[in-house]
A and B are shown apart, each in its own frame.
Chain A
Amino acid sequence: DVKVTQSSRYLVKRTGEKVFLECVQDMDHENMFWYRQDPGLGLRLIYFSYDVKMKEKGDIPEGYSVSREKKERFSLILESASTNQTSMYLCASSPGRPQETQYFGPGTRLLVL
């Protein structure tokens, strides 16, 4: 079974803090993704990566950055957390061409005060 794990289930941070969310997959998948999910807005893609050290912007990259130093690990960084970044953050991975099915982690619920 594919396993995607996220470093924290719940996180509380202060405005202006630098926040790291980590995601690890154990199936040697090529592609990894970060989404945020908010009521009424659905799933929105923040960043994704097709390969180690590669990253591409999704639909809402502002205020975020990512790092992928190893194939199995994809980190999302909030450079200076703001209250409008309070959300559920979901990491996903997919095997690579031609397989596009994404497998999700359990999510991190982030509260920025």
Chain B
Amino acid sequence: EDQVTQSPEALRLQEGESSSLNCSYTVSGLRGLFWYRQDPGKGPEFLFTLYSAGEEKEKERLKATLTKKESFLHITAPKPEDSATYLCAVSGGTSYGKLTFGQGTILTVHP
């Protein structure tokens, strides 16, 4: 069974204090790893898809990386508007199209 574990559950940063969120996964035959951002009361917003170990993608202050066992979402010099829940998901194995989601990391950035 596919499993995704995100850590920490919650992270509080000061504005400008860079850090990383972790997503550890167990899946048979990874096809893709997905990062989403979710603001309170809204649907998840797609950020990145990573397909193979060593791949990296960037968007503004966010950079996602992938290894064979985990993915990191690096946040450089965060701003209060980066506060949100960040969700990680994977696709793999025989369950085409279905994603397995982690529980998310709640990020709070204080000014």
Q: Does B43 contact A (CB under 8 A)?
A: yes
**Contact between chains at B34 and A101 (CB < 8 Å):** yes
Q: How far is the CA of A97 from the CA of B31 in the complex (A)?
A: 11
Q: Is A43 an interface residue (CB 8 A)?
A: yes
> For A105, what are the chain B residues with a Cβ–Cβ distance below 8 Å?
43
Q: Interface residues of B toward A: which range? A: 20 to 34
| A50 close to B98 (CB less than 8 A) | no
Interface presence of A109 (CB below 8 A): yes
User: Is the pair B102, A100 in contact by a Cβ cutoff of 8 Å?
Assistant: no
The residues of A that contact B98 with a CB separation of less than 8 Å are 45, 48, 58
For A90, list chain B residues within 8 Å (CB): 43-44
Cβ contact within 8 Å between A100 and B43: no
Name the residue of chain A whose CB is nearest to the CB of B45: A104
Contacts of A42 in B (CB 8 A): 101-104
> What residues of A have a CB within 8 angstroms of the CB of B96 in the complex?
97, 100
* 8 Å CB contact of B31 from A100, A107, A109: A100
Name the B residues within 8 Å of A103 (CB-CB): 46
Q: Does B54 contact A (CB under 8 A)?
A: no
Distance in angstroms between the alpha carbons of A4 and B42 in the assembled complex: 12
Contact B49 A101 (CB under 8 A): yes
Q: Which 4 A-B pairs have the closest CB atoms?
A: A104-B43, A43-B101, A100-B91, A107-B43
Q: Chain A residues in contact with chain B, CB under 8 A?
A: 4, 31, 42-43, 45, 48, 50, 58, 88, 90, 92, 94, 96-98, 100-107, 109
Name 12 interchain pairs, CB-CB below 8 A, sorted by A: A42-B101, A43-B44, A43-B101, A48-B97, A88-B41, A97-B97, A100-B91, A100-B99, A104-B43, A105-B43, A107-B42, A109-B41
